[in-house]
Structure 1
Amino acid sequence: MDIASAAAIVNSINKLENKGKETVKVVVRCRPLFGKEIVEGRQSIVTMDLAAAVVSIKCPDSDQLKNFTFDSVYDENTVQRQFYDESGYPLVESIFEGYNGTIFAYGQTGCGKTHTMQGKDSPPELRGVIPHAFDHVFDNINADTEKEYMVRATYLEIYNEDIRDLLSDDSNKQKLELKESGDGGVYVKDLTEVVVRDVVSINKVMARGFKNRTVGATLMNEGSSRSHSIFTIVVEVSEKVNGEDRFRAGKEGCKINLSLSALGNVISALVDGKGKHIPYRDSKLTRLLQDSLGGNTKTVMVAAISPADYNFEETLSTLRYANRAKNIKNKPTVNEDPKDAKLREYKAEIELLKQMLAQQKGRLVEVHLELEDLTTSTYVAPRQTQRQGHLLADKVTTQLSLIES
């Protein structure tokens, strides 16, 4: 085998392995300077080219610029609705096609993660990704009268490797265990699930959980930099066929994990590759989001950064991790009923057989034409024509046998 042939084979294998894969979408959002920072004379060291999606950070000591390119970048003038429409809307829309979706914010304390993800109820212009996602989900559900939907919500917090159920009134249920499911995933045992029927009810669930989180942080002096929260929506879609409900979303449903998180070690290991161990088990957070990084989920990472000069090291670190996360590949798969999956496989197999049959019929026509040319030609010796005729007759018989089989 020559080098060119070997290279072609390797290229084909790589294409096969990467089929259906997509990289994590990474966007950067920079907060404005705080009033206190302006009073103190702090300087902004971050500039953005929104059209080119480039972030530039200037070293305060040397004025040296470092440039990073991402899927999208948003400066301090970005409003909440614009951010959701461009970076959240496509992800949430995909869950109605049967995919799992995750959007998480990454960055140091005080960079606007909570503002981006949750925002404030009033005025409405300050609402973040999560409440906009609520509106989006129920707008789609209310517009679809041909299907039945069930929406469930969970809300948990991770602090010092303890998982707390923010929707439980039982104090004994606040520290939960992480378990492995039969399909290789993970779940939180005994985590409260609340069925929600509209935007009002899901907003109440969010407020209830957030209140529990806020009280805990006040009484126990838990800073936001050490605490992470995950709000999950499970959307199940059913269609009645012959009286039977078939849930397209499958057993686990379609999930939108809306999280505030720090995942540097996992990002590094995934990008480094080379068979390196991925430290998902190093923390509860990374285990819960294992499918979101290198798994079967459509994922958006929001890197939240500060423009202040005294945050240079932290901002640069966030940008570097975000830049590496662009290379993480997921393989999103549609959740569907096993019967639907088998039916889809059969349809694909039938289509392939039809293509093979068409090719065989085309070849049969060519053989008949060759035979006619030989029998009508006056320039071919009779014996040669006879021998070739027998050969072609054999070929015709073979082609017919293939078609019949």
Structure 2
Amino acid sequence: SHEFLYDGVFGPDALQDQIFEAVAMPVVDRFLQGYNGTIFAYGQTGSGKTHTIDGSQKYFQDRGIIPRILSAIYGNIKQIDSKDISIHVTYMEIYKEVGYDLLNPATKAGSMIIELPRVQILDGGREGALIRNLSSHLASNERIAQDLMFQGRANKKIAETPMNHNSSRSHTIFTIIQTTTSQDTPTITRSKLHIVDLAGSERVSKSGLSGKHLEEAKLINLSLYYLEQVIIALQEDINYAINISKHVPYRNSLLTMLLKDSIGGNCLTSMVATISSDMHNLMETMSTFRFSQRVACIENYARRNKELNDKTIIKKLKERIVQLEAHLISGESEDRTEVRLSQVSQQLKQLLVNKSSHDDPDYR
């Protein structure tokens, strides 16, 4: 017999709102406070990952984690009057180890893969992944955000397989970016929330696939294998937290590079593992159990993402310059005032240089 320890277990009759409250809401609460978050689903093809993440469009009560998260975020925004909050979303797909922007107008269902613009993912070291050619869309209200979600969902690569008649053949990452400014403080809080629907794992020998779908399955399994190797390396590396660590193979795949911060980094991460109750799938179920148990052992070190609000500081420095110039005119000690004025001017110039760098579209 085998024993596995998890934070929660749900049977086949569990409701979508129960899954959302247990899996997603704790991460969403912290995301709203300025912490990075990741929620991802892992499991065998046809076990319910995409249903958990996306839900059903037929019945409102069957909507999944993503639409429920969007409702929770905009519900929170309505209750806050003293802060300026903006929400941007991105939607990315990794298909056969190539990244695609699901919200790029060129990326439409049925488009030729070779013609589509590709998203580049680079290893940014301690800063996590650097992403190029991925469009970010301002969603000023929930309806816009939900529409963007549906638009990206329609562009996914989906194919029928013997294991699942509506099988997602790619990893998809829906990301929500919240930027919060307050008139009372000179800081900006930025937080990211990734919701990841991993492609289904399956044993090629029993999948009944051939040709193009067989190639897809092999690449999916390889990508998930690399993810598992990262998990194993982190689990075995007891010195990871103090940076005396062994090599963690994040660079082996686009997926692991993208999830670098989500696994063992600056992020609060929640995973839902989906399984089949059919004895025919026992080996795949045991594999999912072992993988999810390893993930549960990984410790992340999340911190609130605060940074100085350049606009507020620049405004205050300009006000200070006006005050010092007034002192000069009024006859206050010229040398002392000129020193102060020079110091403030240098601070203002440096802030303007930094702001120019951050406004550069190639700066991440």
Q: Report deviation, 1:179.
A: 2.5
Q: Quick one: percent identity of the two aligned structures? A: 36
Cross-structure match for 2:295: 325
Cross-structure match for 1:230: 173
Question: Aligned AA for 2:231?
Answer: I
Q: Report deviation, 1:170.
A: 2.8
Task: Verify the 8 A CA contact 2:158 2:169 in the aligned structure 1.
Answer: no
Cross-structure match for 1:157: 93
1:315-394 matches, within 5 Å, as 315-338=285-308
Q: Report deviation, 1:180.
A: 3.8
1:114-125 matches, within 5 Å, as 114-125=50-61
CA distance in 1, matches of 2:166, 2:67: 23
Is the alpha carbon distance of 1:238 and 1:206 closer, same or farther for their aligned partners in structure 2, counting shifts above 3 Å? same
Question: Aligned AA for 1:247?
Answer: I
Is the alpha carbon distance of 1:184 and 1:124 closer, same or farther for their aligned partners in structure 2, counting shifts above 3 Å? same
CA distance in 2, matches of 1:195, 1:186: 21
Aligned counterpart in structure 2 of residue 258 of structure 1, from 173, 195, 209? 195
Find out whether 1:210 has 2:146 as its counterpart: no
Find out whether 1:269 has 2:233 as its counterpart: yes
Q: Give the root-mean-square deviation of aligned CA atoms.
A: 2.3
Q: TM-score, normalised by structure 2?
A: 0.69
For structure 2, list consecutive stretches of 5 or more residues without a partner in the other structure.
Answer: 108-114, 199-223, 239-244, 311-364
Cross-structure match for 2:281: 311
Larger gyration radius, structure 1 or structure 2: 1
SS of match in other structure, 1:329 = coil
Task: Verify the 8 A CA contact 1:166 1:174 in the aligned structure 2.
Answer: no
Q: Report deviation, 1:177.
A: 1.1
| CA displacement, residues 16-44 of structure 1 (integer Å, 9 cap, x when unaligned) | xxxxxxxxxxxxxxxxxxxxxxxxxxxxx
For structure 1, list consecutive stretches of 5 or more residues without a partner in the other structure.
Answer: 1-64, 341-405
Q: Report deviation, 1:339.
A: 7.3
Aligned counterpart in structure 1 of residue 272 of structure 2, from 284, 302, 308? 302
Q: Report deviation, 1:117.
A: 0.7
Q: Report deviation, 1:101.
A: 0.5
CA distance in 2, matches of 1:182, 1:328: 19
CA distance in 2, matches of 1:79, 1:158: 29
Is the alpha carbon distance of 1:271 and 1:87 closer, same or farther for their aligned partners in structure 2, counting shifts above 3 Å? same
Aligned counterpart in structure 1 of residue 252 of structure 2, from 278, 282, 287? 282
Structure 1 segments (4+ residues) deviating >6 Å: none
Question: Aligned AA for 2:44?
Answer: Q
SS of match in other structure, 2:4 = strand
| CA displacement, residues 133-184 of structure 1 (integer Å, 9 cap, x when unaligned) | 0000000001111111110000010011100100001355531211344753
SS of match in other structure, 2:85 = strand
Is the alpha carbon distance of 1:182 and 1:111 closer, same or farther for their aligned partners in structure 2, counting shifts above 3 Å? closer
Aligned counterpart in structure 2 of residue 100 of structure 1, from 32, 36, 47? 36
Q: TM-score, normalised by structure 1?
A: 0.62
Task: Verify the 8 A CA contact 1:217 1:223 in the aligned structure 2.
Answer: yes
Question: Aligned AA for 2:194?
Answer: N
